[in-house]
Structure 1
Amino acid sequence: MLMSAQPLIQLHQVRKTYNPGLPNEAEVLHGIDLQLNAGEFIALMGPSGSGKSTLLNIVGLLERMSAGSYHLQGEEMVGLDDGGLTLRRRKLLGFVFQFHHLLPAFTALENVTLPALMAEGRVSTAQRERARELLDAVGLSAALDKRPSELSGGMQQRVAIARALVMNPPLVLADEPTGNLDSASSDEVFVLLRRMHAERGTSFVVVTHDPRLGARCDRLVELIDGQTARDEAVVRADGALGPSEPLRR
């Protein structure tokens, strides 16, 4: 896949300290450098407490860094007020979490259109049609009017993936998206993420504890104790780069 000349995200010497100046002060990120180009599919790995979720929250504009620089599509995020961060988060980023966080009173279609409703106060005909197309793409065209309680765990996570893509963001951040699923559903969801990446060109950063899933990404970034321990392309057993599974529907 072609990469753009300008990095999609670029972090330089990012640090995060909780409770600064207090007796329980703790620095959890110690000068992280990270560049992600458009079209990449990255696994972010490391043991519990290594700083993965904190880093993902900073990239996702959900937390502010304590020091460093973060450029998103060439624009420096440091110094933006909360409204500016919210605007860019809604426009440029999609999120998939370990727990799907679907609204129980909303149908699948209504849950997918929720980001458009929050961003613009209404859902246009075009956005509703895009939501329908995404639910079809994730294999849920027959479940548009079903509520989360009527769907399996894997199906609920597929709704969450469609929701993350409805605003057509260049980057999707997935925090343990298969961590709450059985192995069969986990494989199904991961292959779906890979297919969305291949067909739509969306970039992904996927936090996972599962080395089996990490080995099926294009690039592996490993954090240990708040520092980058490894950042390298994934090489398959046959010597090729990237994943080997079919991008099935």
Structure 2
Amino acid sequence: MATQPPTASTTPSLLALQSARKSYNVGLASEVEVLHGIDLQLQAGEFVALVGPSGSGKSTLLNILGLLEPMTAGRYCLQGQETSQLSDEGLTLLRRQALGFVFQFHHLLPAFTALENVTLPALMAHGVVTGQDKARATELLKAVGLAQALHKKPSELSGGMQQRVAIARALVHQPPLVLADEPTGNLDTQASQEVFTLLRDIHASQGTAFLIVTHDPRMAERCDRLVEVVDGLIARDTHTPHP
């Protein structure tokens, strides 16, 4: 049975997932259910680790929370909006407003500079990059320690530096929640520690909520809350004590 976090908030949830189920067709007359009725709430400003063995359903859950794929059944409210009532255009707009994404692979455009990669969401949303967009991107790149790399392309940056660019890109539209899928999984130990420390600093300074999928127990222990998914169900949901 899943355990609830030891404390609860009376403020509205940033996201609320109720009885989420997800099935995939595997043949003409059969399907496999990978999520079996998940309930999950996140409050504004939380810093949460999502853990579990391979094949447990973590990535599917993250895709649903990121509005990247629909549930088979259940209810999902993000920033108070019932997502099942939204059109594709409405889902795209909500995703753009409410969520930032950081992935294990940086997905930077190789022909673009760091600054251009960070302003890409504005270009995609509005078809133009304004001076204000560039100023915001520049501020973020400086904040993540890349003041000297604004005009460098990804091939000129280390893996850790590329991930910092990806983090800046995820934050450029000031989302209340960042979903991070193994954000240090491709980095060496030192770079991993630096990137994780950066995420914690952003959380502390800006109040951004983070949900981080990780296989690294050391990273999970440094988060404030740990949600463990096993066999398509939440097996544990606890706050993590810190010294």
1:189 and 2:195 aligned:
yes
Q: What is the RMSD computed on CA atoms of the aligned residues?
A: 1.2
Aligned length: 235
1:201 and 2:172 aligned:
no
Distance 1:229 1:87 in 2: 33
Residues 4 and 37 in structure 1, CA contact (< 8 A), matched pair in contact too:
no
Structure 1 stretches lacking a partner, 5+ long: 239-249
- Equivalent residue for 1:113, pick from 108, 119, 136: 119
Residue 4 of structure 1, CA deviation = 7.4
Partner of 2:39: 33
Distance 1:214 1:142 in 2: 31
Residue 22 of structure 1, CA deviation = 3.7
Percent sequence identity is: 69
Partner of 1:229: 235
Residue 126 of structure 1, CA deviation = 1.1
1:156 and 2:156 aligned:
no
Distance 1:185 1:233 in 2: 26
If asked which structure has higher relative contact order (CA below 8 Å, sep 6+), I would say: 2
- Partner amino acid, structure 2, of 1:229: A
Equivalence map 1:136-151=2 (5 Å): 136-151=142-157
- Partner amino acid, structure 2, of 1:186: S
1:20-49 per-position Cα deviation (integer Å, ceiling 9, x unaligned): 784441101010000000000000000000
- Partner amino acid, structure 1, of 2:229: L
Partner of 2:133: 127
Partner of 1:174: 180
What TM-score, normalized by structure 1, do the two folds share? 0.92
Equivalence map 1:74-85=2 (5 Å): 74-85=80-91
- Partner amino acid, structure 1, of 2:139: E
Provide the secondary structure at the position in 1 that maps to 2:45.
Answer: coil
Residues 4 and 38 in structure 1, CA contact (< 8 A), matched pair in contact too:
no
Provide the secondary structure at the position in 2 that maps to 1:44.
Answer: strand
Partner of 2:14: 8
Distance 2:136 2:202 in 1: 14
- Partner amino acid, structure 1, of 2:14: L
Distance 1:4 1:73 in 2: 15
Provide the secondary structure at the position in 2 that maps to 1:103.
Answer: coil
- Equivalent residue for 1:19, pick from 15, 25, 28: 25
1:91 and 2:94 aligned:
no
Provide the secondary structure at the position in 2 that maps to 1:180.
Answer: coil
Structure 1 residue ranges (4+ consecutive) displaced by more than 4 angstroms after TM superposition: none
Structure 2 stretches lacking a partner, 5+ long: 1-8
